[in-house]
Chain A
Amino acid sequence: MAAPLVLVVLAAVTVRAALYRSSLAVFIAERVEVASPLNAWKRVVEGLALLDLGVSPYSGAIFHETPLIIYLFHFLIEYAELVFVITDVLTAVALYLAIQDFNKVVFKKQKLLIELDKYAPDVAELIQTPMEMHYIPLKVALFYLLNPYTVMSCVAKSTCAINNSVIAFFILATIKGSAFLSAVFLALATYQSLYPLTLFAPALLYLLQRQFIPIKLKSKSFWLYTMQYASLYLCSLVVIICLSFFLLNSWDFIPSVYGFILSVPDLTPNIGLFWYFFAEMFEHFSLFFVCVFQINVFFYTIPLAIKLKEHPVFFMFVQLAIISVFKSYPTLGDVALYMAFLPVWSHLYRFLRNIFILSCVLIFCSFLFPVLWHLWIYAGSANSNFYYAITLTFNIGQILLISDYFYAFLRREYYLTHGLHLTRQDGTEAMLVLK
């Protein structure tokens, strides 16, 4: 399996190198879909220039990166393109290894459930075979590396790639079972962009499952393990934040980074829902709606944890998708990360209801984004409503895609336990509804 992966990596590196050298690189770097105020490369360069001038980068409203990014690029600014290509490759390799391990886990679990007779007798066609699962890790790496969203994000040198890489390593560490590494990478991801905090729940559920600790609220070992993992996570977070303090000897980065993510003062257009909403919001209700929108990202965690406690990796996928739709400054790089997981659920294809129309919606919206931006900003013949409409459509497409996959997943689980050919009491073929 290594050889095809190397080929895929080579192809991806070639595509990125070719685009870096072409005239499209400048055009892509300015696109608001890939570069948001949080992760644009121009702002990283600006922060380093301010540091050279002797002014704290956090004294203005331009730079919103964490001090560790300053540390990193202070030394690697000359090799920036190489850094981003390597980051993408590392993400893909991490996802490849993670999914490889995950396949083994899935297969073992399936075998166990079949031996325990938990499955209905006629579901042979729903069981995943090693043959069809063989190419899934390669497909995941392919989906990530050759996704146009990822390529554009890499060419624009958006630091979203670094965030994706950290999350990919976190997933790898979790699936391999190392609680310590998982906590450290999760702390790094949270430190950079705050929202991966919600990935704590799926990671905890997975690790508990792996240690064969039952998830019962009264169980002592459950609480013990949870406390261990939580304290590992919080300690690493505290250590990283204290390290950042020592870079510039001030706590200025906390309002500049986390205050900025939470209070959304910058209304630069992006593919998310926040910017136009708060551009048109009555001043009186601004704080209320900021709180509502931020809570909206975090509050799906507990219900999903209750429903999907047996399937933590799918929970992680859904959670990643919710973060990238509802975060305050989303970019296409965030979308690319959860889309890389779609091959893992390719066995759900037969239960998806709207996949054709949703993929059409997503593709059309991706093409219409730059067109309507040009019409608004450069041609002056459209106004902001056009771009906003495409933002709405793109987000609805993403939301319906995720809920479609969720529906298909739950339906397959039902069929696995109740049998594929369902009959009603009078013997005719039955239909399944959600009630």
Chain B
Amino acid sequence: ELLLSPLPTGDVAATFQFRTRWDADLQRGSVSHYRLFPKALGRLVAALGVRELHLALTQGFWRTRYWGQPPLQAPAGAELWVWFQPTVTDVDKAWKELSNILSGIFCASLNFIDSTNTVIPTASFKPLGLANGTDHHLLRYAVLPREVVCTENLTPWKKLLPCGSKAGLAVLLKAERLFHSSYHSQAVHIRPVCRDASCLAVSWELRQTLTVVFDFFSSGQGKKDWSLFKMFSRTLTDTCPLASQSKVYVDISPKNKEKELLEVSPPPTSLHEAVVQGDRKTYAVYDLLSPSLFNTSRSLNVQLKWKRPQDSSEMPIPTLHAQRYVGGYGLQTGEICTLIYNTHPYRAFPVILLETVPWYLRLYVHTLTIITKGKENKPSYIHYQPAQDRRRPHLLEMLIQLPANSVTKITIQFERALLKWTEYPPDPNHGFYVGSSVLSALVPSVTAMKDVDVEQSPLFTSLFPSSDGSSYFVRLYTEPLLVNLPTPDFSMPYNVICLTCTVVAVCYGSFYNLLTRTFHVEEPSRGGLAKRLANVIRKFRGVPPL
């Protein structure tokens, strides 16, 4: 399915979701018949004992404050988190193999994932699929903030789809338009799900999601009417014959409680109302499998037109949003500040904050301060694992209660380490990236949610399990940070070795002299050549010799 949602700032977000369900039980014997499920991923899951896999490659940053709550957010760079089966004995070895194999499948440098950027969260990243027990030692999480996404990563991702990019919604995925955007995120999620309502058997679900945000000014040329052709330079011509369901959802929910001012053409096959992420939303649904859609024209170009200019006076503010920045000056110390906003008028709720900081920014946990509305706010759960030099990063997980309508400021100081000259990346003065911190929360929804028909709603609603209708699960990521470290002079290794050894040799030489030699009265010497020459000249002059 494809979900088109216009954003308050005039941009438009397009989220593609391709879900493949594979009715195989990997526990009982090996499988050889894959059908629609990509064989590369199927063999990976079977061989390495993976229970859940979530990989996201993202370029750009989702501005939650201005664009609203994202359907699925991912941090900038590459993020990989995996739950392994309890039968796996050496999880670290399986993790290393997995990241290397995925690196090959997706042409991304996931092979840089090693112990220096892998952490084991204890409270965040609970399993999204079926789970028997949750021993968090089977979970691994790593993020590579410096990773870039490009066509090279999109092509293997598209190849995993049953129809490839030849039919169905995937024909819209053309790299030249997709990467000309403010935000591009492609993800792969594999998890076990119930095969049916009775849940007697387990199926594997593969979701491939791609979210792209087209900018109002650069892609939209400053005009607020969007269409599939304007966004993707393609239109939909037919459906994938292997798809059992293929839909396009357009979010036409009225903002500011007014009549719909967004008009879609051609007219949709149906309208669907649901409460999604705490808000009542209306979707215009185009069912590509219905025969009436492609009757009139061979192609479908969904157009969004605004009836009257939307006054941008009041932009809805999401209930939970956060930002993070580095404070301080100089190359010796610094401070990581995170601001978390709870804009719900009367409900307080807790949020779990997970921070992974590389080892070369030495965090001082005694400087951790959490201030809400001017008063100190103690976290009810705090798990801190300090870093070990060159072996593992800092892990800080906290459960913080956010009062209603408040801003919480979390600050922690750090010291910048001087690394060995070979440990700096090729452009050392660019700085070092610190991965985004993760906020997980059950946000209370303004509108109560009923048990909606999952098959009718957009697919992302079924990704996160919701326990009850009064709150919905949100996972937010903050900005990645760019921090400069002091650098040694890279042109000087030989000079430094020589100079330092000279100092040591000065000490050795002086002490050797004083220890091995003794004082003697100086014997008169005949003098060197210069003295004798001088004496000869003096004799000629008639002056007494030296």
Residues of A bordering B, CB below 8 Å: 30, 42, 45-46, 48-50, 53, 55, 59-62, 265-269, 273, 275-283, 293, 296, 300, 303-304, 306-307, 322, 325-326, 376-378, 380, 383-385, 388, 392, 395-396, 399-400, 403, 406-407, 410-411, 414, 422, 424, 426, 430-435
Chain A residue nearest to B500 in the complex (CB): A277
Among A384, A411, A426, the one with the most B-chain Cβ atoms within 10 Å of its Cβ is: A384
Query: Given that A42-B364, A385-B489, A422-B521 are known contacts, is A60 also in contact with B514, CB under 8 Å in the complex?
Result: no
Please report the C-alpha to C-alpha distance between residue A348 and residue B336 in the assembled complex, in whole angstroms.
55
In the bound assembly, the distance between CA atoms of A265 and B420 in angstroms comes to: 10
| A283 engages B420 (CB within 8 Å) | yes
Shortest CB distance B268–A (Å): 56
Which of B364, B515, B520, B522 is close to A46, meaning CB atoms less than 8 Å apart? B364
Complex contact A303–B386 (CB within 8 A): no
B366 touches A267 (CB 8 A): no
Interface: B524 (CB within 8 A): yes
Q: Is the CB of B418 within 8 A of A60?
A: no
The 3 closest A-B pairs by CB, nearest first: A60-B386, A49-B366, A403-B510
**In the complex, which of the residues B385, B488, B515, B519 contacts A414, with contact meaning CB atoms closer than 8 Å?**
B519
- Are B521 and A266 closer than 8 Å at their CB atoms? no
- Minimal Cβ-Cβ distance residue in B for A432: B519
Please determine whether A50 and B497 come into contact, CB atoms closer than 8 angstroms: no
How many whole Å from B411's CB to the nearest CB in chain A?
15
12 pairs across A/B with beta carbons < 8 Å?
A55-B385, A59-B388, A60-B386, A277-B497, A300-B511, A322-B507, A400-B506, A403-B514, A406-B514, A410-B514, A432-B522, A434-B514
Which of chain A's residues have a CB closer than 8 A to the CB of B422? Answer: 282-283
A60: chain B residues within 8 A (beta carbon): 385-388
Minimum CB distance partner of A407 in chain B: B514
| B486 within 8 Å of A (CB atoms) | yes
Instruction: Tell me which residues from 293 to 342 in chain B have a Cβ below 8 Å from any Cβ of chain A.
Output: 329-333
Q: B386, A432: Cβ atoms under 8 Å?
A: no
With known contacts A55-B384, A273-B504, A392-B499, A378–B329 Cβ distance under 8 A: yes
Whole-angstrom distance between the alpha carbons of A278 and B417 in the complex? 13
- Given contact pairs A59-B388, A377-B330, A403-B511, enumerate 13 new A-B contacts (beta carbons under 8 Å): A30-B333, A48-B366, A50-B365, A59-B386, A265-B389, A267-B420, A268-B417, A279-B421, A303-B511, A307-B514, A307-B515, A400-B510, A435-B517
Nearest CB in chain B: distance from A301 CB, A: 11
What separation, in Å, do the CA atoms of A276 and B418 have in the docked complex? 9
Q: Give the A-binding residues of B (Cβ under 8 A).
A: 329-333, 359, 362, 364-366, 382, 384-390, 415, 417-422, 486-489, 492-493, 496-497, 499-500, 503-504, 506-508, 510-511, 513-515, 517-524
Given contacts A325-B507, A422-B521, contact A53 B382 (CB under 8 A): yes
Q: Is the CB of A269 within 8 A of B388?
A: no
Chain A residues lying within 8 Å of B524, measured Cβ to Cβ, are 424, 426
Please tell me if the beta carbons of B503 and A273 are within 8 angstroms of each other in the complex. yes
Q: Report the nearest B residue to A428, measured CB to CB.
A: B524
Would you call B517 and A61 a contact (CB within 8 A)?
no
Bound-complex Cα distance A322 to B364 (A): 33
Contacting pair A385 B492 (CB below 8 A):
yes
Q: In the bound complex, what is the Cα–Cα distance between A399 and B488 (angstroms)?
A: 25
CA distance A275 to B514 in the complex (A): 29
- The reply to whether A281 and B493 contact each other, CB–CB distance below 8 Å, is yes
Contacts of A426 in B (CB 8 A): 524
- Chain A, residue nearest B519 (CB): A414
How distant is the Cα of A414 from the Cα of B422 in the complex, in angstroms? 52
**Residues on the A chain within 8 Å of B333, using CB:** 30
CA separation between A431 and B389, bound complex, in Å? 57
Give the chain B neighbours of A325 by CB distance below 8 A: 507
By the criterion CB–CB under 8 Å, are A392 and B500 in contact? yes
Given the known interface contacts A422-B521, A432-B519, the answer about A280 and B497 at a Cβ–Cβ threshold of 8 Å is: yes
Q: Is the interface of A mostly helix, strand, loop or mixed?
A: helix
Q: How far is the CA of A385 from the CA of B421 in the complex (A)?
A: 13
Are A265 and B514 neighbours in the complex by a CB distance under 8 Å? Answer: no
B318 to chain A, nearest CB (A): 32
- Nearest residue in B to A378 (C-beta to C-beta)? B330
Q: Tell me if B364 and A62 are in contact (CB < 8 A).
A: yes
Inter-subunit contact B503/A395 (CB<8 Å): yes
Query: A46 contacts which chain B residues (CB < 8 A)?
Result: 364-366
Q: With contacts A62-B362, A279-B420, A399-B506 known, is A55 near B514, CB below 8 A? A: no
Residues of B within 8 A of A61 (CB): 359, 362, 386-389
A residues near B362, Cβ cutoff 8 Å = 61-62
Which chain B residues lie closer than 8 Å to A275 at the CB level?
A: 418
A434/B500 in contact, CB under 8 A: no
- CB pair A435–B386 under 8 Å, yes or no, is no
Instruction: Please determine whether A59 and B364 come into contact, CB atoms closer than 8 angstroms.
Output: no
Q: Which residues of B contact A430 (CB under 8 A)?
A: 521-522
Chain A's closest residue to B382 (CB) is A53
> A46 CA to B332 CA in the complex, in Å?
17
CB <8 Å contact, B365 and A434: no
Q: Is the CB of B520 within 8 A of A435?
A: yes
Contact A411 B519 (CB under 8 A): yes
- Give the distance to chain B from A283, nearest Cβ to Cβ, in Å: 6
Measured in the bound complex, the distance between the Cα atoms of B523 and A237 in whole Å is 53
Partner of A304 from B382, B386, B515 at Cβ < 8 Å:
B515
In the complex, how many angstroms separate the beta carbon of B415 from the nearest chain A beta carbon? Answer: 8
| B389, closest chain A residue (CB) | A61
Chain A residues near B329 (CB-CB < 8 A): 378
Residue of A nearest to B420 (CB): A279
CA of A73 to CA of B390, assembled, Å: 29
Query: Which residues of chain A come closer than 8 Å to B520, judged between CB atoms?
Result: 432-435
Cα distance A435–B507 in the bound complex, in angstroms: 18
With A and B bound together, what is the CA distance between A279 and B485 in angstroms? 13
* Closest A residue by C-beta to B484: A380
Q: Are A280's CB and B521's CB within 8 A?
A: no
Contacts of A55 in B (CB 8 A): 384-386
Distance in angstroms from A302 CB to nearest chain B CB is 10
Q: Which of B362, B415, B520, B521 has the most CB of A within 10 A?
A: B521
Complex contacts, A407 vs chain B, CB 8 Å:
514
Residues of chain A within 8 A (CB-CB) of B365 are: 46, 49-50, 53
Give Cα A433–Cα B520 distance, bound, in whole angstroms: 6
A296 and B489 in contact, given A55-B386, A266-B417, A403-B514 (Cβ under 8 angstroms): no
For B507, the chain A residues whose CB sits under 8 A away are 322, 325-326, 399, 403
Question: Which residues of B are found within 8 Å of A279, using beta-carbon distances?
Answer: 418-421, 488, 496
Contact assessment for A410 and B519 in the assembled complex, using a CB-CB cutoff below 8 Å:
yes
Bound CA span A353–B523, Å: 22
> Taking CB as reference atom, which chain B residue is nearest A47?
B366
Instruction: A403 to B331: give the CA distance in the assembly, Å.
Output: 37
Q: Could you tell me the distance in whole angstroms from the C-beta of A168 to the nearest C-beta in chain B? A: 25
In chain A, what residue has the closest Cβ to B422? A283
Cβ B332 vs Cβ A280 within 8 A: no
Bound state CA distance, A277 and B384, in angstroms? 33
A412 to B496, CA, bound (A): 38
Residue from the set A30, A59, A62, A269 with the largest chain B CB neighbour count within 10 Å = A62
Q: Give the docked Cα–Cα distance between A426 and B330 (Å).
A: 69
> Are A268 and B418 in contact, with the CB atoms below 8 A?
yes
> In the docked arrangement, what's the CA distance between A61 and B362, Å?
8
The distance in angstroms between the C-alpha atoms of A14 and B511, with both chains bound, is 40
The listed residue (A45, A278, A380, A433) touching B519 by CB distance below 8 A is A433
Assembly CA distance A322 to B506 (angstroms): 13
Bound-state CA distance A395–B58 (Å) is 51
Give A53's nearest chain B residue, CB to CB.
B384
Q: Which residue from B382, B510, B518 sits with its C-beta under 8 Å from A435?
A: B518
The CA-CA distance from A432 to B520 in the complex, in Å, is 6
Residue of A nearest to B501 (CB): A277
| Distance to closest chain B CB from A272 (angstroms) | 10
Minimum C-beta distance from A25 to chain B (A): 16
By a CB distance below 8 angstroms, the chain B residues around A385 are 489, 492
